[in-house]
Amino acid sequence: MIAQASVKDSYRPPYGVTNSPETILRFPFPFPEDSYMYSMNVEPHVRGGPVVAMQNTFDIDEHYVAECTEKARILAEDPRRCIVMPHMREAEWDFVELAMETLSEQYPDYFALMRDGANWHWTNRLLGLEQAFVFGDAETLPHPPFEYMARQMQGDFTLHDQREDDLWMDGGMVTAQADWSLKFDLGMSFRQWHAPVPKAAELGVFDRGLRFLLMLQHGKPVRRLNWTMTINPRLDTSPENYLVWGADRASVTPDNALDKVHLRVELQTLYRLPRSHAILFSIRCYLLPLRDIVRVPKWGRRLHRVLGALDPALSSYKGLDLYRPTVVSVLSRYDDGAELTPGILPDLAQLEDA
């Protein structure tokens, strides 16, 4: 049992998020090599990936309750973090079905689903929810179907309609984003919402990526890892709130970097939804402070090398310029130059002492 049924973390000041050794070892560290360049790096999202965080359709960990609570707070402050256009109604139910079926199957201790034709009964033991409803009848749920389910899951979700050989972001719930906004991107095509990413267009990554996604088949989801860095364990680094968190970037010093600077990894998974033919994009965010990362010596050394050699255009796109040199110099203390095994596995059964 890894999920805890109580709120113990705080994702806003005063910050307080702790990661158990188990959580650190299951972190999806994103660098298989000592250097990094943007690529499609898409692989089938089959259960049983290299790290524990990839072993379930939707990953649940010890921060589940705290993240759902934070999500509810953000939605209360700004209900427009969840918008779904009317033509995505069937996709909403597709999402409910996919989430409820996989969660109850893969985490029977936490979730249960009973189905009798269209009469469904959902139990979420972690949040203490019981709900009887009629599948397909939105009136029988306390929130619209997509919102009802997305509130009970870690991470962000967007829904994409496929038409004119493109994918259009026509719905979503976004509360833990790395500096982008649903309100801004809603209704955009694949190329439009990727336009800010440097290099990738030149590399042809998006054309290939789009062509690939247009052919995504039901039952064959795919995944990729993306990353950036965040100061403080702050899930909601949205452009709307830039004034709240932007200044944190200037607060990094050699003394506080280990605790303040977090590697932010997104486990992105994509699913073709069967009724609507829409695509579900799930962005599951993991935040790990440098202090926890260096407890896995391979990760500490590799992060030092990746950040040291990072392409300047990517560094500035990801907003790392202000503090990257500090981080690299702090991490150099943890890098003896030893050769590292390829891949992202920690190569450890137990953690080094903190």
Partner 1 sequence: MAKSGVKTAIIASTTLLTPTLRRFVLRAQGWCFPVLSAGSHVLLGFGGPERMFKNAYSIVSRKDDGSEIVIIVRRAPQSRGGSVFLHEQGREGLSVTILGTANLFPIMRRARRHVLLSAGIGITPFLAYLETLRAGGMDYVLHHFCRPEEREAFESLLHGQDSACVHIHDQLPGAAGLREQLANQPITTHVYYCGPEGFMDWVAGAVRAVGFVPGKVHSEHFFVPEGGQPFAVVLARSGRTVNVGADETLLEALEAADLNPPCMCRGGACGACAVTVLDGQPDHRDHVLTEAERTAATTILTCVSRAKTQTLTLDL
- Positions touching partner 1 (CB under 8 A) are 87-88, 90, 94, 97, 161-164, 211, 215, 217-219, 274-277
What does the alpha-carbon distance between residue 98 and residue 275 come to, in Å, rounded to a whole number?
11
Residue 263 or 279: which CB sits closer to partner 1? Answer: 279
Shortest distance (Å) from residue 218 CB to partner 1: 6
Q: Could you confirm whether 295 is annotated as catalytic?
A: no
Longest dimension (CA), the chain: 61
Orientation of helix 324-332 relative to helix 297-308, angle to 10°: 140
What does the alpha-carbon distance between residue 318 and residue 30 come to, in Å, rounded to a whole number?
15
Shortest distance (Å) from residue 183 CB to partner 1: 20
Residue 273 or 344: which CB sits closer to partner 1? Answer: 273
Shortest distance (Å) from residue 282 CB to partner 1: 19
Residue 121 or 218: which CB sits closer to partner 1? Answer: 218
CA 71-76-82 angle, to 5 degrees, is: 65
Residue 37 or 118: which CB sits closer to partner 1? Answer: 118
Q: Which of 297, 287, 306 lies closest to 333, judged by CA?
A: 297
Q: Considering 224, 249, 275, 291, which one is annotated as catalytic?
A: 224
How many CB atoms neighbour CB 34 within 10 A? 16
Is residue 275 a contact partner of residue 163, using CB atoms and an 8 Å limit? no
Is residue 62 a contact partner of residue 127, using CB atoms and an 8 Å limit? no
Peptide bond into 32 cis (omega under 30): no
Shortest distance (Å) from residue 63 CB to partner 1: 32
DSSP H or E run through 227: strand 222-231
| 3-state helix/strand/coil string of 47-115 | CCCCCHHHCCCCCCCCCHHHHHHHHHHHHHHCHHHEEECHHHHHHHHHHHHHHHHHHHHHCCCCEEEEE
Residue 279 or 283: which CB sits closer to partner 1? Answer: 279
Shortest distance (Å) from residue 163 CB to partner 1: 5
- Which residues are annotated as catalytic? 224
